[in-house]
Structure 1
């Protein structure tokens, strides 16, 4: 049974935009935070690390503990905590208070995303779950393209506290819209216990689906972590062009995300394998050819588009295989993505420190992405063996 909720996706997308802007914008106001609270830049940088760790740990834990709660009241409560966390960040009198506020906000972020995805998918028309989920991810894309730059501008003009206040205001508006527009999807949240939800991870298909997310994204995440030195040292761009190229990447990500959702609705596993193959080819071209300034700019757009085009399909596959506990599975999937990002940053650093040269980062990204193709093909093969046909989203 599907519940009609035509305003659900825009309301939830605004919430995703607000919450992820609060996550990404810290990098832009880091020096102001450090100066005002009299801490070092590295200490202020730990705010970013703490947020990521909070999502990794809090996502599965909070989601499992709230498994019995109806979804609509739960996401309103989670939004309320996010609003309070950003308000506390805005008024924090000292660094420890700000640190604690960021951790608390991070603890509920993955659980909110997981429930929002399940609600969006459950209210989507048949056969359009992936494209509907991609619209939620589009809120994250907008936070990269518009939210973080606008938040940084607000911080530069009015102080970093005003940035967190603006994020809290955006989340509060999202709260009001969810209260008015998002239906109470009762049948999407069967009463169960944390232990019962954890049993879903015994399923090999669920394990493989989450592994696809981790491995399939790690190659591009490694390249993105070191984008600035790669663009200047390999592709030959001037340092002041990096900010513009990051915007180009973000626009590509937004386009690819929406297109990937539509492709996943039509052919989930074939599109996933094909898009990962194109991503590996794009990474290889950047590493071998260097790109040049014109081709390099085109390839930056392509990397953003291809990298984000696979995400809706990966999320829908987790939902499909983990039907008994979709919310917890989505939270763990988000944690897997964060762990992949942390591993990718570490591996890329080791490659650079090992003297292999910057192009080797691209080539290693290719190898990791090919491994992601292999895991995806394994999932696809299991679909044929167990069902005689690929997994569909209808």
Structure 2
């Protein structure tokens, strides 16, 4: 794997840390800025809103720029957002800073996923994307627990100061390791936007929203489940979050090679396993041992869905994948916000702390149904109207290399989608 993937993973580590750490620091921020915890919760929503707005907007604005320059600009904006967060004099400024820090999130992962796939052989594209996302999973194993502890002991401003330093390191790594990768000249933004009208791309985005919403319907209330139902002490919550991160890391490592081998079967299997784990989660949390095992399993199967979901959208928009890839990151954040809201509704109705598990299982099952429907429609479509990975025009790889035409003049490199 190219060293450039390390730079992308470092960037993902910083982004993942700042995205999730606020959940553990809300009481500290609320107390320091003289507001309530529910009001401080708007800081989480502000970041998610920044992701949803920034993903299509910044991708469109940078569509004609060299991909390396785009990555550097996005990571620089992320770093500034975290620096302003660390120095924010009041709640309103911090709210705006969180929105600013969230703006480049979706666009960075959208562009980064395309860059990662372009730098390796076609057969290793999913593994390259999974390597970048590995930084996000490691953020949940190391970054979030350590940053939360730092914020609790030293102050929440120190946490965002450290994330700012990580952002600077990521900028330096991107500048040193990522090669120059020109943007697609043919079609430009109109072509990118046109890819979003592909029914298969839209079904892929819908799969992401429903499939991944189940993860956050449970994750958002994990701390309360562990303390109020399982009986763990509040000090154990950091360990629980770290175990979730361990599961995420395992899921990312497993999903990459499987997605390269068979895209749709991996997606179906991951979503089916996720629905099963979520359905069993309310039972598992009744016992300490099974609860901790279920947390690892949830992280594993939950994050095993992310690589095939991302590759599915990129594959079906392969002639113009950048905007679709960024839109999928916005879909992930819609899933985060929607899942948390639906889980909260279940609890507010008096169904109990474990009720989000059953609602989440239904969401994951819905995502699986959408994915299967997309697969059936794709198989039924006339061969000439399908977007089949590996056939026709493909973006040039890093260094300006191109595919070698087969006999008869058609370029073809078999990918996971061809073998479905």
| Pair in the same fold by TM > 0.5 | yes
- Kept in 1: contact 2:51–2:103 (CA 8 A): yes
- Kept in 1: contact 2:55–2:330 (CA 8 A): yes
Change (3 A) 1:291 1:154: closer
Correspondence for 1:136: 132
- Kept in 1: contact 2:278–2:357 (CA 8 A): yes
Higher helix share: 1
Provide the C-alpha distance between the structure 2 equivalents of 1:44 and 1:221, rounded to a whole number of angstroms: 19
Correspondence for 1:165: 161
Provide the C-alpha distance between the structure 1 equivalents of 2:340 and 2:117, rounded to a whole number of angstroms: 32
Is 1:95 matched with 2:96?
no
Provide the C-alpha distance between the structure 2 equivalents of 1:43 and 1:287, rounded to a whole number of angstroms: 29
Which of 205, 210, 213 aligns to 1:218? It is 213
- Kept in 2: contact 1:215–1:371 (CA 8 A): yes
Matched position secondary structure for 2:318: coil
1:163 Cα shift? 1.9
Greater mean deviation of Cα atoms: 36-45 or 257-266: 36-45
Change (3 A) 1:40 1:228: closer
Is 1:249 matched with 2:281?
no
Q: How many residues align?
A: 389
Which of 31, 34, 42 aligns to 2:30? It is 34
1:14 Cα shift? 0.4
Provide the C-alpha distance between the structure 2 equivalents of 1:285 and 1:42, rounded to a whole number of angstroms: 30
Correspondence for 2:359: 364
Change (3 A) 1:389 1:66: closer
Is 1:78 matched with 2:74?
yes
Is 1:127 matched with 2:123?
yes
Change (3 A) 1:35 1:130: same
Greater mean deviation of Cα atoms: 32-41 or 116-125: 32-41
Which of 62, 65, 76 aligns to 1:69? It is 65
C-alpha RMSD of matched pairs (Å): 2.3
Greater mean deviation of Cα atoms: 89-98 or 117-126: 89-98
Unaligned runs of 5+ in 1: none
Which of 179, 182, 185 aligns to 2:178? It is 182
Change (3 A) 1:293 1:332: same
Deviation per CA, 1:48-101: give whole Å up to 9, x if none. 211111111121122122212221111111112222222222222333322222
1:120 Cα shift? 0.5
- Kept in 2: contact 1:9–1:132 (CA 8 A): yes
Which of 281, 300, 305 aligns to 2:300? It is 305
Provide the C-alpha distance between the structure 1 equivalents of 2:157 and 2:231, rounded to a whole number of angstroms: 37
Q: Which TM-score applies when normalising by structure 2?
A: 0.86
Q: Which TM-score applies when normalising by structure 1?
A: 0.91
Correspondence for 2:45: 49
Provide the C-alpha distance between the structure 2 equivalents of 1:295 and 1:47, rounded to a whole number of angstroms: 33
Greater mean deviation of Cα atoms: 72-81 or 348-357: 348-357
1:230 Cα shift? 2.9
Unaligned runs of 5+ in 2: 390-414
1:321 Cα shift? 0.6
Greater mean deviation of Cα atoms: 340-349 or 380-389: 380-389
Correspondence for 2:311: 316
